[in-house]
Chains A and B, each alone.
Chain A
Amino acid sequence: MILIINICKEKFHYYEFVKPVEDILKNKGVKFFTKNYRDVAENDLKKAEKIIICGTSLKDFEYFNNLNKFAWLKTFEKPVLGICAGMQIIGLVYGGKMKRKTEIGFFIEDFREEFLGTIGKHEVYHLHNNFIDFKRLKEFKIVCFGDSVSQAVKYKNMYGVLFHPEVRNKKLIEEFCNGKFN
């Protein structure tokens, strides 16, 4: 069972940032349950085999003021995939600093090594105004680095992508859902 975490302040953004991820899981027959980040309880974390933290809109920074709701990331050992703002949350919880950089639309990013089944150059969809400087976070391995920004990072079972794989890189999400992790 996968826990999908919705971090959107506006409920109308669910359709754009959460439903496409749910649809990928549904199409692959993966069982999941979705919760707003404010409502995630201890029991949900126990029940979840893996967690996906979805992104949100360019103007939504509500999560930034509620990082305490993600403190569990520090000790959580099961696989987590953070998408865009979800990746930024992972970085912030680990002490990273947020920096300004707007990227909107298609970009080519180069994965120097295999990352959730993705390797080499791929077209990805970006929609963000900020990023986390993962170079300062020694625990994290930067697997994809483009235009001075960490685009894909990994630490133990924790994965983060700055782009939105639910748009053009659905296989990455499928690989996360179906992959075996230590």
Chain B
Amino acid sequence: MKLGVLFSGGKDSTYAAWLAKKEGYEISCLISLWSKNKDSFMFHTPAIELTKKQAGLMRVPLIIQETNGEKEEELKDLEKAIKKAIREFKIDGVVTGAVESVYQSTRIQKICNKLGIECFNPLWQKNQIEILKDLIKDKFEVIISGVAAYPFDRKWIGRKIDKKFVEEISRLQEKYKINPAGEGGEFESLVVNCPLFKKRLDVKLKNVFGEKNSWRGEFE
């Protein structure tokens, strides 16, 4: 079965892609939505342009679909991109990195159902601490590319997800009830290396923009 992965370059979609490959499925293409609206309900936005480089490191074709990122309207762009993947790469299904978000998963399920293809959500309902631990165990090098909730600040940008990170985020989960894998939009991530990449993504944190508890990194 040929699959297209809805790919943001963050930990969840990349890990979902890796699980697909591990289970013996062919990843025919990556599908990336580049939103002009940084506060899109559907799509991850920090460092999204790096998906080009990541796809190159994975040796997998990338479909880029620009979107204004306006609520519900952005779904038309998503459908357009999936249709393109069906047409050009003959995919039979889509893989997403959805964990808890019924908002996102429901909309993707509806589009796949309409287009007559399968929808795979291999991280669905997975314990968020377990996700972080699995990333470390499976040699994913992931850094934080954006934060958007208390008590995060600019110091978190560029930080690596490692054992210490998991310990700290577990404490914050207990104290502030945050989602430890950032599923509620608390933070966004960037995969700089993983078993799918031929070599490490060469990036440097160039700038950090934001205020209070909302910051995003600019990478080069």
Contacts and interface: CB of A to CB of B under 8 A. Distances in A.
Interface string B1-36: 100000000000000000110010100000000000
Given A15-B123, A16-B124, A59 B116 contact: yes
Interface in B152-198: none
Nearest to A127: B109
A141 interface: no
Interface of chain A, helix or strand or loop or mixed?
mixed
Interface stretch (A42-50, A98-106, A143-151, A152-160): A98-106
Interface in A1-44: 10-13, 15-16, 19-20, 23
A172 interface: no
B196 to A, nearest CB: 16
B118 A59 contact: yes
Interface string B109-138: 110110011111111111100000000000
B102 interface: yes
Contacts of A58: 109, 112-113, 119
- Contact count band on B: 20 to 34
Contacts of A15: 19, 120-124, 126
A178 to B, nearest CB: 20
A105 B105 CA distance: 8
A10 B19 CA distance: 13
A163 interface: no
B46 to A, nearest CB: 26
Contacts of A167: 102, 125
B213 interface: no
B76 to A, nearest CB: 18
B113 A102 contact: yes
A58 B112 CA distance: 9
Contacts of A166: 125
Contact of B20 (A12, A60, A106): A12
Given A12-B25, A15-B122, A104 B1 contact: no
Contacts of A57: 118-120
Interface of A: 10-13, 15-16, 19-20, 23, 57-60, 102, 104-106, 125, 127, 129, 166-167
Interface of B: 1, 19-20, 23, 25, 102, 106, 109-110, 112-113, 116-127
